[in-house]
Amino acid sequence: MSQKGKLTTWKDERGFGFIKPEQGGKEVFLHISALKGAKRRPKVGDTILYELTTESNGKVRASNASIQGVASQPLDLSRNKTKAQSPKKSATNFRTSPLLKKQKKKKLRPIEILIGMGSLALIAVITKGFGGFVYLPWCNIKGNISHNTGSQVYHMPGMKDYQSTVIDPAKGERWFCSEQDAIANGWSKAPR
């Protein structure tokens, strides 16, 4: 038997609300799935036509519902697809709804684990494998160790020996990004 009532509450993000029956009584639960074929989602104040269904636990809910004055979408029989082949992408479909979808833990395959570990190892080799030396193109101050005295000196661009100075990270020589960085690390300015 068809019933009629006003939608008093609607939680659009969760897809349900409550109808105040026209003949009075307790509010009736309405789930979006009961509004099959509606051209739009319901909103508070809509008049809802529905059938009353009592569940096994005694709770009543609306079924076979429609929004009064809103046409239903006709079924497209030309597509001939089942619901399993092409689920609707809307919050009304429990299979695709991000709110109702259970989070499945992705199991990593061994190859993915190996690639991840290999990437981490490569990063570690690049950053630590050269004695902490990583050349950055904007770091142009050369820190080298004198062959004669063994002292650590740095060369600024434009200095006499700058062009001929070669940095060898294996010997503890390195690049600095600023003169302050070189001084802070205990290096002295090379004589001009």
Residue 4's DSSP bridge partners are: 49
Strand order in the sheet with 188-189: 174-176, 141-145, 152-155, 188-189
Q: What six digits make up the tokens of 85?
A: 């082949």
Q: Which of 31, 25, 14 is nearest to 65 (CA)?
A: 31
Q: pLDDT band for 102, please (50, 70, 90 cuts).
A: low
- Sequence-distant (6+) residues with CB within 8 A of 67 are 35, 38, 40, 42, 46, 47, 48, 49
Q: What six digits make up the tokens of 55?
A: 């569940």
CB 29 within 8 A of CB 35: no
Q: In the chain, which residue ranges form alpha helices assigned H by DSSP? A: 110-128, 179-184
Domains delineated in the chain: 2-67 (2.40.50.140), 141-189 (no CATH)
* Whole-angstrom distance, CA of residue 79 vs CA of residue 76: 6
Model pLDDT for residues 109-167, shown as the tens digit of each residue = 888 888 888 888 887 766 655 555 555 667 888 888 888 888 899 988 888 888 888 88
* Whole-angstrom distance, CA of residue 18 vs CA of residue 25: 12
- Sequence-distant (6+) residues with CB within 8 A of 168 are 144
Of these ranges, 15-24, 82-91, 120-129, 163-172, the one predicted with the greatest mean pLDDT is 15-24
- Of 9 and 79, the structure prediction assigns the larger pLDDT to 9
Q: Which of 63-72, 90-99, 150-159 has the lowest mean pLDDT?
A: 90-99
* Per-residue confidence (pLDDT) for residue 80, from 0 to 100: 45
Mean pLDDT, the chain, integer:
79
* Whole-angstrom distance, CA of residue 162 vs CA of residue 51: 89
